[in-house]
Amino acid sequence: MPSPRSSELWRGIISSAIATALSLGVGALLMVAVGVNPLAAYVTMFRGSFESAYTVAEMLIRMTPMLLSALAFVLAFRCGLFNIGAEGQIYMGALVATVVGLYAPQHWPMAAMLPLVAIAGFTGGAAWAGIAGVLKARYRVHEIVTTIMMNYIAIFLVKYMVEGPLQEPSGGFPQTSVIADGAQLPLILPPTPLHAGLLIALAAPIVVWFLLLKTTLGFRIRVVGTNAWAARVAGMSIERTYVLAMTLSGGLAGLAGFVEISGVQHRLLEGFSPGYGFDGIAIGLLARGYVLAVAPAAMLFAILAVGANALQRTYGVPAPLVTLIQGLVILFVVYGDHARTIVHWVWQQTAARSYKVRVIR
């Protein structure tokens, strides 16, 4: 993945936009097939996110963990790694954050408590992904397989914790008690439930962008991701870079777990993430690995996710249609690159031919 030169960047933006339009088009065809006016349906979908301050808040709350886990995917992706395990890292981040939020002295002020809980979340995700990084670096076990497997382990571990050792004392539901007040993210747009996690999610791309493009570590990550052999020749440790990139990537996903617990749930419970980690993969791919493109892509996915429910309520169009559209977006992006090479090739051929013809004449 090259650094975004402006022509490359514009091409990326345009092809992602075309891919999005095409997949919304396929969605429209399916709506027509079930007898729904697609234009009205899409208007309803987008209005579902922008109708009132409350719905905007709902959309931004959804966007927050999506954005962070997409950054997690992108960071590893730039190092040539596929971190498919953001979902598990979200769970581990949430677990560690909750433990700290439950057992740290309850009277601590927010200024001390909140950073501690955030660091705990980051650490939980980082450690979990770090295992996959070490397995990759030291034992050459492919990170795709380990991160997928570790998703399930993390989800079952959380399930065990909330049904066992960490279950609330009343024992009514598979969930923990509520974390300390100081460990909860403050609301930033009362009376809506929009929480300060959004600020973290908006700052994160800038931090990651700075890390990747302006620091030595970021340079190392990008070199290993672009050409591991060149990195080796230049004396960089590929293994150490893999572990570091995986750890940082997992940390970002862990932060997503933290904002979800600290900002939304205020306690740990099983199944609290509706697949934010997997959304992150799709968003990261739609953003084509560009850090700063992650935020708009995440917003698009959040709008689609919120709109899906509006679509189902108003028109009876099944909400899974949106998942289908999300998958198609990635396929179209991938196909766009191919189509571009074909067009380029054909253009070259015709250009060459006309040149030849001219010479002969």
Partner 1 sequence: MIGALGNSLLWTAFLTAAVRMTIPILMAAVGEGVTERSGILNIALEGMMLVGAFFAVLGARLTGSPWLGLASGTIAAAVVATVHAYFSITVLADQVVCGAALNFVCFGLTGFLNRIIFANSMGPSGLAQFLPVDIPVLSKLPIVGASLFNQTAPCYVALAIVAGLWVFLWKTTWGLNLRAVGEHPLAAETIGIDVVRYRYAATIAGGALAGFGGGFLSLAIVNFFVEEMTNGRGFIALAAVIFGRWNPLGILAASLLFGAADALQLTVKGIGINVPYQFLLMLPYVLTITTLAMFAGHPAVPRGLYQPYHRTR
Q: Please give the residue ranges that form the binding site for partner 1 (CB under 8 A).
A: 30, 34, 82, 84, 135, 139-141, 144-146, 148-150, 152-153, 156-157, 159-160, 163-164, 278, 281-282, 285, 318-328, 330-331, 334-335, 337-338
Find the Cα–Cα–Cα–Cα dihedral 240, 246, 249, 251, rounded to 10°.
-90
Determine contact, residues 202/294, Cβ cutoff 8 Å: no
195: three-class secondary structure by DSSP: strand
In terms of CB distance, is 157 or 178 closer to partner 1? 157
CB of 257 to partner 1, least distance (A): 18
CB of 16 to partner 1, least distance (A): 14
In terms of CB distance, is 31 or 185 closer to partner 1? 31
Residue by residue, DSSP assigns 21-60 as HHHHHHHHHHHHHTT--HHHHHHHHHHHHHSSHHHHHHHH
CB of 92 to partner 1, least distance (A): 13
How many whole angstroms separate alpha carbon 322 and alpha carbon 327? 9
CB of 272 to partner 1, least distance (A): 16
Determine contact, residues 279/90, Cβ cutoff 8 Å: no
Nearest to 151 by CA among 330, 241, 335, 278: 278
In terms of CB distance, is 77 or 122 closer to partner 1? 77
What the block records as the tokens of 285 is: 């791919």
In terms of CB distance, is 88 or 125 closer to partner 1? 88
Determine contact, residues 1/223, Cβ cutoff 8 Å: no
In terms of CB distance, is 89 or 262 closer to partner 1? 89
In terms of CB distance, is 149 or 189 closer to partner 1? 149
In terms of CB distance, is 140 or 358 closer to partner 1? 140
In terms of CB distance, is 257 or 336 closer to partner 1? 336
CB of 150 to partner 1, least distance (A): 7
CB of 72 to partner 1, least distance (A): 15
Handedness of CA 49, 50, 53, 57 (dihedral sign): positive
CB of 318 to partner 1, least distance (A): 4
Helix 53-78 vs helix 216-226: crossing angle, to nearest 10: 70
How many whole angstroms separate alpha carbon 254 and alpha carbon 96? 9
Helix 320-360 vs helix 276-286: crossing angle, to nearest 10: 20
CB of 110 to partner 1, least distance (A): 33
How many whole angstroms separate alpha carbon 51 and alpha carbon 57? 10
